[in-house]
Amino acid sequence: MNHSNDQHEQTSLSIAMVCLNAAGVVFKRPEKNIGGMEVRAWMLAKALARQPHTQVSFVIRDIATTSSTIENVNIVPFESKWSHAVSQLSPYLTRSYSFPWLKVRRWSPRLLTGLAKLATLKFLSPTEKQTSFAEVLSTTKADIFVGFGVSYYTKYLIEAAQQAGQPSVVMIAWDGDLDERNRPGTGYVSQFGDRAEETWWILKNADQIVVQTPEQQAMLKERFDRESIILENPIDIDWWHKQSQYAESLSPQIRSASNAWLWVGRCERHHKQPQLLIQLARECPDERFLMILNPRDQELEHEIRRECPPNVTIVESVPYEQMPAVFQQSKGLISTSSQEGFPNTFLQAVVCQRPIISLNVADRFLTSSEAGICANGDWDEFVKSIKLPPRPSSQAQAYLQQHHSLDAITIPFRTILNGLKESFHEQLTSQKKQ
């Protein structure tokens, strides 16, 4: 990418960015689990808002707050009691195409309580359900609408942009957004409840799609016949270095796991695969492991805690501001994921000069940056790499600065958005003249 400031950087640009689950990172709430997509979205929003002649609105789902401005970003909260109640049931239910339209993932007293709450809202507050996310977007004035991830909310964003006569951008969050089953007639529903027809429509109707990796770009073209732009994930290197020095802010439990291998992720069986960390710990009894296990699958979490060997320390969550210090005291980072987009945790490990050992993902990044090893699914090689880890390479720091620093990503991103805005309206003007 050309990182120079061209004429696009000098024109006014108003951006509406949507990442509904980012309240935890925006308001620094330790009780909220924070994923890589949310970190990426908020980091880009703040960085764009620092650019000249750029206004950023950031739409999030948050029931307890009103509009505010944080670091020059206009925070636009959206929530209804109905959608909040529905979101609380996501660990227990998934949507389906056939009657009764929902399938039970697992039974729980919380499921019964949540269903009762939905019934109460439906009959006692029928207008509450009609609180429209689309209405929130329609009142958010912008030159361009940017949505993170592919979900039914992204569909509303594209429709709002169309109604406003403005272009839309979809930021792919992980490889699962591009699952080959996301096409009409398959009946596929993702683990997050998103139907194949909706995802297909989103990927066909977004004016621009931005991917994280060349692998995603190839999948998008092959499976959905869409071109895309690659924008690699950013990291605020200076902020990360500063925060990594505050080890005294860590809990005694985490400080006791100093020089342990670090694992970070959601508790879900098929993609993050935390159960494999337990298997790894049993095969490496002389190594120590710290697992930051964000709640999702309660049954799997109980299984992991029940089978956890003594060389594994499990914590449920850590405030994002403390994560640099956690990485700094670690021996290195472990990934057992079967599928990712691009793991922000890999960038975070590189900043702290800690080696990365990955079972399956990010082989291209690890090879190019010399930041660690990908076993490409070979379990024996994975275990061997833990017992005999690579030394961090000085090349990794240079690679990070060149390809993932905040300036290296933000300036080209603004150029992309402004260029899309201008070409979109040039095309509209040309069509009107015909």
In a domain, 173, yes or no: yes
Same domain, residue pair 230 and 301: no
Same domain, residue pair 177 and 322: no
What pTM does this model have?
0.85
361: domain CATH number is: 3.40.50.2000
- Lowest-confidence region among 90-94, 112-116, 172-176, 322-326: 90-94
What's residue 182's pLDDT? 95
In a domain, 87, yes or no: no
Distance CA 17, CA 48 (A): 11
Mean pLDDT of 44-69: 90
Same domain, residue pair 228 and 269: no
Instruction: Report the chain's mean pLDDT, rounded to a whole number.
Output: 88
In a domain, 46, yes or no: yes
Range of the domain at 149: 7-80+131-234+406-433
What's residue 192's pLDDT? 77
Q: How long a stretch of residues is the chain?
A: 434
Nearest Cα neighbor of 26 from 66, 71, 64 is 71
Same domain, residue pair 251 and 206: no
In a domain, 147, yes or no: yes
Same domain, residue pair 263 and 178: no
Same domain, residue pair 190 and 68: yes
| Whether the predicted pLDDT of 2 surpasses 50 | no
Same domain, residue pair 228 and 242: no
pLDDT tens column, 354-406: 999 999 999 999 999 999 999 999 999 999 999 999 987 889 999 999 999 99
Same domain, residue pair 185 and 256: no
- Paired with 219 in beta bridges are none
What's residue 224's pLDDT? 97
Count of domains for the chain: 2
